[in-house]
Structure 1
Amino acid sequence: MPLPSQPLRKLGFLTIGLFDEADPRAGHESTLKIIELGERLGFDSAWLRHRHLQYGISSPVAVLAAASQRTTRIELGTAVIPLGWENPLRLAEDLATVDLLSGGRLNPGVSVGPPMHFDQVKDALYPDTADAEDFGYDRVSRLLDFVRGKPATDFSGVEGFEVFSDRVQPHAAGLGSRLWYGGGSLRSARWAGEHGMNFLTSSVVKAEESEDFAEIQLSHVRAFRAAHPDGERARVSQGLVVIPTDSATPGQRAKYEAYAAKRTPRTATPHGPARMMFAPDLVGTSAEIAERLYAHAAFREIDEVAFALPFTFEHADYVQILTDLATGLGPALGWRPSAQG
């Protein structure tokens, strides 16, 4: 429970990795450079968002494979991979491979539900099985089983010159304990806890028992830990949009404040049938943001964060924000940078 006398243990950041359609390589390269910078600044983790049929990273696992060869220490995560787009067995193979390449630093985060705009993409994604696909928790259970080494088939042994395994290969020992569930509801929080996963809670939650964002998020953290075998020791990471301005130029500060102001109205009330609530973006000096975080009911019960970088800023803005996070806000929360790899 971080209080002014109790330090934040792990500091991470999350980015969407935007790119220009005319030059997509430059955007991906920018993301890799940001991850490299994060390691140099001592961050504990770097996380990638997942975007399909948009101008953001569509294959974070592939990008993290590249990042694993440019870094030596920082943990590499996904927040999150929507499993409705994935075959759990194939994804398990990819995750295990990248985890081995990274030296055991991969932290895959996943979520469930139908793919976004499913009616428009189902014929391309599942032309023959769209009506039969299960987009619920069973899809996560299959991934967990495959990653944790349970048999995927009843066949194994030698056939001619080839040797076959009954479980996913390569097997990455330890990866099963580093799988995260990105959830925004009490049901998801409990399910993740019951299945021994870690829990990612972000700036979007469902207003089920309250319309106060911090109270809702706190209820999810407590429900997850109450259901988890590790109880209070179960890992939770909070991901709010946080923009420190300590070293920002006047132009950057104006841009950041305008960005947050444009998004603030959506935080007032729940949205849509699912009653989704959004957290306000935190913009200000490190001291101001630290004060707001210590007043946040959910933050007081976690000891690791993956602060989200805004979607639409420039590379230089991200450099400034990450630098201030590592040199200003992190220390203000009691965090100490990890040794350089």
Structure 2
Amino acid sequence: MSVPARPLRKLGFLTIGLFDAAEPRRGHESTLEIIELGEQLGFDSAWVRHRHLQHGISSPVAVLAAATQRTSRIELGTAVIPLGWENPLRLAEDLATVDILSGGRLNPGVSVGPPMHYDRVKQALYAGTADTEDFGYDRVRRLLGFVRGEPASDFSGVEGFEVFSDRVQPQSPGLGDRMWYGGGSLRSAQWAGEHRMNFLTSSVVKAEESEDFAEIQLSHIRTFRAHHPDGEKARVSQGLVVIPTDSASPEQRAKYEEYARKRTPRTTTPQGPARMMFAPDLVGTSDQIAERLHAHPAFREIDEVAFALPFTFDHADYIQILTDIAQNLAPTLGRPPSPNPA
């Protein structure tokens, strides 16, 4: 007998924030407007992706700092910041600052590994130390320590008129409990649990013990909770591309179906030497999507989601998709309907 799905408790969405290189401000404004709309629709969280040397959000912390001044309730997250591009001490300062500005609404998600195309960018990024940089889990551990108040210096005191702290400033109470790890492997799921992080299940996972995406994602959730001090209460958010068509025009529906069709082949078998599996995109009416989610083994064990918006759609498409998620899909998943935007 299948386990009934848990009622959905937290409704979130994820956007990559693409922009036209000739007019980057318009793209960033579009992202901020979508986050504002998410709050108006009653979403619990909005997440932004991280893209370097591409026409996407290269500085999610800066974008979310702007979003803190245009919203008052919605939680703001990163899914995810690849730490191979970051200095953990400096990032801890930025995260704490934005969390203070938000009133404690920041949910930073991070991951490890070398930067994409590292051989082509390493001299620009780490001139002189490129071949000795460590891109493993210790980078996350350092960030967690600084966010949670571990010393960053062996000196604190007064020099002249200046006061120095041995900890990252500002310190933002509670931020350490809102740190997320975006993982796609059993090892990552276990590490995140052991280090008391929250866990973002990826829409791209490593085919280790299965070639069924839902089974793999379920094994990551269970591994994470088995190694987390909070056990079954440990927070997990599921990431999938979800495109409801309830209020879509015929042209939008055709575009959405074609988008999913082109991406379907990569979901059927493991891809590349790392054997990565991609989640199928869910396109259809809210009732059709809800039926597929209720049959999804991993979805039945979570009560938080961050549904991903497709990469290349128009601003009007995102408005329609978010509105249908909030007003039509969410109630079928056990969450009360969201209000109409003002």
Residue 30 of structure 2 aligns to a residue in which SS?
Answer: helix
CA distance in 2, matches of 1:327, 1:164: 50
The alpha-carbon distance between structure 1 residues 127 and 2, as it changes in their structure 2 partners (threshold 3 A), is farther
Q: Verify: 1:318 aligned to 2:318, yes or no.
A: yes
Shift of 1:3: 3.3
1:332 equivalent in structure 2 = 332
| 2:297 paired with 1:292 | no
Q: CA deviation at 1:89?
A: 0.2
Contact 1:286 1:329 in 2 (8 A): yes
Q: Percent same amino acid at aligned positions?
A: 83
Q: Is 1:94 aligned to 2:120, yes or no?
A: no
Q: Deviations over 1:58-92 (max 9, x none)?
A: 00100000000000000000000000000000000
> TM-score, normalising length from structure 2?
0.98
Deviation at 1:336, TM superposition (A): 2.3
Letter in 2 for 1:77: G
Mapping of residues 210-229 of structure 1, within 5 Å: 210-229=210-229
Structure 2 equivalent of residue 141 of structure 1: 141
**CA deviation profile, 1:117-140 (whole Å, cap 9, x unmatched):** 000000100011001100000000
Q: Please say which of residues 248-257 and 267-276 is displaced more in the overlay.
A: 267-276
- Once the two structures are TM-superposed, the CA of residue 337 in structure 1 deviates from its matched residue by 5.3
Residue 266, structure 1, aligned to residue 266, structure 2: yes
- Displacement of 1:202 in angstroms is 1.9
| Separation of aligned partners in 2, 1:294 and 1:219 | 17
- 1:209 and 2:209 matched: yes
Question: What residue in structure 2 maps to residue 195 of structure 1?
Answer: 195
1:115-154 mapped onto 2 (5 Å cutoff) = 115-154=115-154
Partner of 2:182: 182
The letter for the 2-side match of 1:191 is W
2:114 — aligned with what?
114
Whole-Å separation in 1 of the counterparts to 2:196 and 2:262: 38
Aligned length in residues: 340
Q: How far is the alpha carbon of 1:151 from its aligned partner? A: 0.4
State the Cα distance separating 1:244 from its structure 2 match.
0.1
Contact kept, 8 Å, 2:327 with 2:338, in 1: the verdict is no
Q: Confirm or deny that 1:67 pairs with 2:103.
A: no
Distance 2:184 2:337 in 1: 29
1:30 aligns with 2:27: no
Aligned twin of 1:3: 4
Distance 1:231 1:338 in 2: 30
What runs of 5+ residues in structure 1 fail to find an aligned partner?
none
Contact 2:42–2:338 (CA under 8 A) maintained in structure 1: yes
SS of 2:13's partner is strand
Deviation at 1:271, TM superposition (A): 1.0
Per the alignment, residue 105 of structure 1 pairs with 105
Residues 321-340 of structure 1: CA distance to partner in whole angstroms, max 9, x if unpaired?
00000001001101125789
Q: Which amino acid aligns with 2:71?
A: T
Within 5 A, what are the aligned runs for 1:242-281?
242-281=242-281
SS in 2 for 1:108: strand
Compute the displacement of 1:197 (Å): 0.0
Distance in 1 of aligned mates of 2:280 and 2:169? 43
Q: Which amino acid in structure 1 is aligned with residue 60 of structure 2?
A: P
CA contact (8 A) 1:44 1:337 kept: no
Which amino acid is the alignment partner of residue 147 of structure 1?
A: V
Partner of 1:277, secondary structure, is: strand
User: Does the CA contact (< 8 Å) of 1:2 and 1:299 recur in 2?
Assistant: no
CA contact (8 A) 2:178 2:197 kept: yes
Q: CA RMSD in A?
A: 1.4
Asked if the contact 1:2–1:8 (Cα under 8 Å) also holds between the matched residues in 2, the reply is no
| TM-score relative to the length of structure 1 | 0.98
Runs of 4+ in structure 1 off by over 6 angstroms are: 338-341
Q: Deviations over 1:204-260 (max 9, x none)?
A: 000000000000000000000000000000000001000000000000000000000
Provide the C-alpha distance between the structure 2 equivalents of 1:286 and 1:160, rounded to a whole number of angstroms.
Answer: 64
